[in-house]
């Protein structure tokens, strides 16, 4: 799976919606269930899937899926 597909699997699992489709532009603005609690869960799930720890600054800078992809690329 490419990083976006992998993120999509994580989002689907957390939002319990197997048909959810996300793209780099997906953000709390167009995915209303994405609140601050959801972000905590998603960050934890990504950390587990990729076996890494986000820094606090990285977490603070996450506003959309593209931000996540940038971090994952930088960490690869």
Partner 1 sequence: MDAPADFLTTSRPGDLGPETSLWLFNQCGGEAKETTDALVELCRLHSGAEREFAMALLAKCESWDLMDNPVFQATFQAQRALLEKTDLGLFLSAQCSERWGDPAEAARSYQLLDREGVPSKDSVLLDLVRVLATGGRYEEACETLRRAASCTRDFGYLSRAARQLLRLEKHARRVCARTVRIGLLYPYTTDLWVPLLRLGLFREGIWAEFQVPPYGTHHQAILDPGSPFFAFDPEVVILASTWRELNLPPFSEDPAKAAFERIEALVEHWKVIQARIPARIIQHNFEVPALDPNGHLGEAMAEGRASVVRKINDLLWLQSQTHHVTILNFDQIASTYGKRSWADAGAWFSAKQYPAPSALPALVEGQVARIRAGLGLTKKVLVLDLDNTLWGGVIGEDGLMGIQIGPPSATGEAHLALQRYVGQLKKRGILLAVCSKNNETDARAPFLEHEGMHLRLDDFVAFKANWLDKPSNLRAMAMDLNLGLDSFVFLDDSPTERAFVRRELPQVAVPDIGSDPVRYVEILDSKGYFDADSLSPEDLERSKTYLNNAQRQAMRTSAGSLDDFLKGLEMVCEHGPIDDHVLPRVLQLLGKTNQFNLTSRRHGEAQLRRILADPAAWTHFFRLKDKFDDNGLVGIVIAVPSIDHPSTWELDSWLMSCRVIGRQLENFMFNTLLEAAKSRGIATLHGLFSPTSKNSLVEHHYQALGFIEAEGEPDGRRRFVLSTAEGVSRPAAFILDPR
* Interacting residue ranges for partner 1, rule: CB under 8 A: 1, 5, 8-9, 13-14, 16, 18-19, 36-37, 40-41, 44-45, 48, 53-56, 59-60
In the bound state with partner 1, the residue whose beta carbon lies nearer, of 17 and 25, is: 17
CB of 72 to partner 1, least distance (A): 16
Please, what sign has the CA dihedral across residues 1, 41, 35, 14? Answer: positive
Cβ atoms of residues 37 and 15 within 8 Å: no
CB of 55 to partner 1, least distance (A): 8
DSSP assignment letter at 64: S
CB of 31 to partner 1, least distance (A): 15
In the bound state with partner 1, the residue whose beta carbon lies nearer, of 13 and 67, is: 13
d(CA 7, CA 37): 17
**Phi-psi map region of 52: left, alpha, beta (phi>0 left; psi -120 to 50 alpha):** beta
């Amino acid at each position: 799976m490419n990083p976006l597909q992998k993120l999509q699997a994580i989002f689907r699992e957390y939002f319990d919606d197997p048909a959810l489709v996300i793209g780099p532009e997906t953000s709390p603005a167009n995915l209303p269930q994405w609140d601050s609690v959801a972000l905590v869960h998603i960050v934890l799930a990504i950390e587990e899937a990729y076996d890494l720890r986000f820094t606090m600054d990285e977490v603070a800078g996450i506003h959309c899926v593209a931000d996540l992809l940038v971090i994952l690329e930088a960490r690869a």
